[in-house]
Structure 1
Amino acid sequence: MNKNIRIVIIEDDSVLRMAYKSLLSDVDDYSVVNTYASFDEAKKELINDNPDITLLDIEMPGTTGLEAIPIIKKILPQTHVIILTVFDSEEKVFNALINGASGFLTKNSSSIKIIESIHEVAQGGGAMSMNIARVVMRSFQKNLDSPLTKRETEILDLIAEGQTKTQVADQLFIDLETVRSHVKNIYIKLDVNSKSDAIKIAKTKKFI
């Protein structure tokens, strides 16, 4: 069968990169034309590769995935970008979509989900893994009059999901003291003295 969907994979993890290539190369109407370990490596070749779909890691050395999206769209306006990431924070999701991504999948997405998402995006649709869709839906359901800043909301969201302050710091790439400072401000704004009370009030008032 003629392979008519051209795919480029940009992923710094060599094991994942080869796994994606192997998975997608076995699909009849897909053609993996190139793979790269970074966007900086891929940039000069993208015009020649002329992909219909670019699978793009969000956290890479050098130019990040978020920074790369608008560059890719400028070089190849017709190319659809699907973000593949371990991160599902609201900030990263919306920044990716605003920058021009057509899809946002977490790396624990099933093989079938990845294959189907490429078909969907290639036909002009959008694609999101279930947990990413929940992030988007949750954001629309939030109280717009929340006293919490975007970062405070993001941190409280992660804490409500069961993450520790250290895990929050690692995921958001900020130091632990910054997380503690934000948590202190959250307690002050919500007039509470504990994590459980902060989560309870924030959920009741739809701040998270």
Structure 2
Amino acid sequence: MIRVSLYEDVCDIRELLEETISTASDMVLIGSHEKAVDILENTRKEKPDVILLDIQMPGISGIEAALLVKEKYPYIQICMQTVFEDNEKIFAAICAGASGYILKASPPEKYVDAIIDTYQGGSAMSPSIARKVLSMFQNQNARVKEFVELTASEKKVLDLLVKGLSYKLIASELNISFPTVNFHLKNIYKKLHVNSANEAIRMAMQNKLV
């Protein structure tokens, strides 16, 4: 039996998925949660084989939660579910360690198939998601080339961001003003095609930019 933990903040969807998983013959639902803030503690207690994780969660996102789980429990498989077909979110989920990616519009049997595929080491993805992933990886060389456009100052800011320094401490460490730090970060986000510090850190680590 495949042990499944579920994370979904929308009550109606969560109840539907609870029923889908609970009635499947080859899996058992061991936990159902509306938030991912306690995902490490929940995972320690529940010991799931697969985590079905919504990408858009209150408190911390599914992508952030996936990163936490894979860092501490790399052997646990993660299948992301979302209403989004956004390239950046798909790429971020894969980089965070997700093995599968399913759209919420999928019928119950597709969810069951996705969980089984993820558990067995496959990459469960709908055809539209698979096409996007293929396109993204085909374009990776071009994107990595863009990373080298970071200036020396931007690379210093990014390096300190990866090391966990706050914006205020980055300004102090580099002897620059707080607005200057923000200016560099805006340019970094634009060049790395990200929208947050967490995504910038992930990109930096994945592509060994610092």
Q: TM-score, normalised by structure 2?
A: 0.64
Are 1:58 and 2:79 counterparts? no
Percent identity over paired residues: 33
After TM superposition, give the deviation of residue 141 of structure 1 in Å: 4.8
Quick one: distance in 1 between partners of 2:123 and 2:142? 29
How do 1:1-208 residues align onto structure 2 when only pairs under 5 Å count?
A: 4-142=1-139
CA deviation string 1:144-196 (max 9, x = no partner) = 669xx89xxxxxxxxxxxxxxxxxxxxxxxxxxxxxxx9xxxxxxxxxxxxxx
For residue 42 of structure 1, report the CA deviation from its aligned partner.
3.6
1:73–1:144 distance in 2 versus 1, CA, 3 Å: closer
| Unmatched segments (≥5 aa) in structure 2 | 148-189, 191-210
Superposition RMSD on alpha carbons, in Å? 2.1
Contact (CA 8 Å) 2:36, 2:61: kept in 1 or not?
Answer: yes
Query: How many residues are paired up?
Result: 146
Deviation at 1:47, TM superposition (A): 0.6
1:65-90 deviation line (CA, Å, top 9, x unaligned): 11111111123222100000011111
Structure 1 segments of 4+ aligned residues over 6 angstroms from their partners: none
CA distance in 1 between counterparts of 2:8 and 2:90 reads 18
Where in structure 1 are there 5+ consecutive unaligned residues?
Answer: 151-181, 183-208
Structure 1 residue 117: Cα displacement:
1.3
Cα–Cα, structure 1 residues 136 and 29, in superposed 2: closer, same or farther, change >3 Å?
same
State the Cα distance separating 1:143 from its structure 2 match: 9.5
- CA distance in 1 between counterparts of 2:88 and 2:51 reads 21
Indicate the SS of the match to 1:101. coil
Q: Matched residues in 2 for 1:143 and 1:66: separation?
A: 20
1:118 shift after superposition: 1.1
